[in-house]
């Protein structure tokens, strides 16, 4: 950040390391917050230990579940352990798993918090959905997600960013930009946020 002028750091969602809400990472979060460095939790990683994907007989099955399941685990850990509340200025991004699953997961986390939050999530002073919508948690979208329009209303149109996925073998850039621009369920003002404004705010480029 200070010498090479990098704008962010990445954390792997999968692997043999502890879940990202654990206290062993708090010095990292404290320093990232001090530097204004956003942390991007990237689905999958160089090691898929603990993801359960090794049970699938074909790559197509493992690839289908590895990205969203890894992100769901880390978001659950980070929110219930109170990381966004303890580090209120730390920007977190959950990438390469789409965004339309997030409203479902917010509802599920809220339900668990309502039933067991006082005893098992004492670090939280708000419902998980309120923490997620608090302005410092971002998600990347897939241009073809059917429920993108309604999802923006639930998650917040200021907290979702376009991701090209370039240069991965399955990226659809630049066609994905045109696909997003053609969507009738996303307003022109929202498209400007998704394609530029939100990323600039996330990475401190604005």
pLDDT digits (tens, 9 = 90+) for 80-109: 999 999 999 999 999 999 999 999 999 999
pLDDT at residue 129 tops 80: yes
The CATH number covering residue 26 comes to 3.20.20.140
Could you tell me which of 4, 5, 9, 15 has the C-alpha nearest to residue 31?
Answer: 9
Residue 1 placed within a domain: no
For the question of whether the overall pTM of this predicted structure is more than 0.75, the answer is yes
Q: What pLDDT, on a 0 to 100 scale, did the predictor assign at position 44? A: 66
All residues at 6 or more sequence positions from 129 whose CB lies less than 8 Å from its CB, including other chains: 106, 107, 109, 110
pLDDT at residue 51 tops 80: no
Residue 116 placed within a domain: yes
HSE-CB at 25 with a 13 A cutoff on CA atoms is 22
Q: What pLDDT, on a 0 to 100 scale, did the predictor assign at position 17? A: 86
Residue 172 placed within a domain: yes
Q: Tell me: the pLDDT tens digits for 2-39?
A: 999 999 999 999 888 899 999 999 999 999 999 999 99
Structure confidence at residue 64 as a pLDDT band (50, 70, 90): confident
Residue 4 placed within a domain: no
Strand partners for 71: none
CA dihedral of 181, 186, 189, 192, whole degrees rounded to 10? -40
Sheet of 137-141: strand order equals 9-12, 39-42, 92-95, 137-141, 160-162
Q: Tell me: the pLDDT tens digits for 175-187?
A: 999 999 999 999 9
Range of the domain at 107: 9-202
For residue 141, the SS3 value is strand
Structure confidence at residue 47 as a pLDDT band (50, 70, 90): low
Please count the structural domains in the chain. 1
Residue 2 placed within a domain: no
Determine the Cα–Cα distance for residues 56 and 134; give it in Å rounded to an integer: 37
The mean of the pLDDT values for the chain is 93
Q: Please identify which residue in the block is written with the tokens 């798993």.
A: 97
Determine the Cα–Cα distance for residues 115 and 137; give it in Å rounded to an integer: 24
Structure confidence at residue 151 as a pLDDT band (50, 70, 90): very high
Residue 13 placed within a domain: yes
Q: Phi first, then psi: give them for residue 200, nearest 5 degrees.
A: -60, -40
All residues at 6 or more sequence positions from 82 whose CB lies less than 8 Å from its CB, including other chains: 21, 121, 123, 124
Could you tell me which of 23, 143, 27, 37 has the C-alpha nearest to residue 93?
Answer: 37
Q: What pLDDT, on a 0 to 100 scale, did the predictor assign at position 48? A: 55
Report the percentage of the chain scoring pLDDT > 70: 96
Distance of CA 12 to the CA centre of its chain: 12
Residue 174 placed within a domain: yes
Residue 78 placed within a domain: yes
């Amino acid at each position: 950040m200070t010498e090479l002028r990098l704008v962010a750091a990445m954390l792997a969602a999968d692997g043999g390391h502890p879940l990202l809400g654990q206290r062993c990472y708090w010095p990292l979060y404290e320093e990232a917050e001090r530097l204004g460095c956003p942390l991007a939790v990237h689905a999958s990683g160089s090691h898929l230990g603990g993801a359960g994907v090794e049970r699938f007989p074909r790559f197509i099955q493992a690839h289908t579940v590895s990205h969203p399941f890894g992100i769901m685990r880390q978001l659950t850990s980070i929110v219930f352990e109170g990381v966004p509340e303890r580090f209120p200025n730390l920007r977190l991004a959950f990438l390469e798993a789409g965004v339309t699953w997030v409203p479902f997961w917010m509802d599920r986390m809220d339900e668990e918090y309502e039933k067991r939050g006082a005893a098992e999530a004492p670090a939280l002073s708000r419902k998980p959905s309120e923490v997620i919508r608090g302005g410092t948690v971002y998600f990347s979208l897939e241009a073809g997600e059917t429920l993108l329009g309604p999802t923006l209303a639930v998650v917040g149109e200021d907290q979702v960013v376009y991701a090209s996925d370039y240069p991965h073998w399955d990226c659809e850039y630049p066609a994905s930009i045109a696909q997003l621009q053609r969507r009738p369920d996303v307003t022109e003002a929202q498209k400007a946020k998704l394609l530029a404004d939100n990323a600039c705010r996330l990475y401190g480029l604005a």
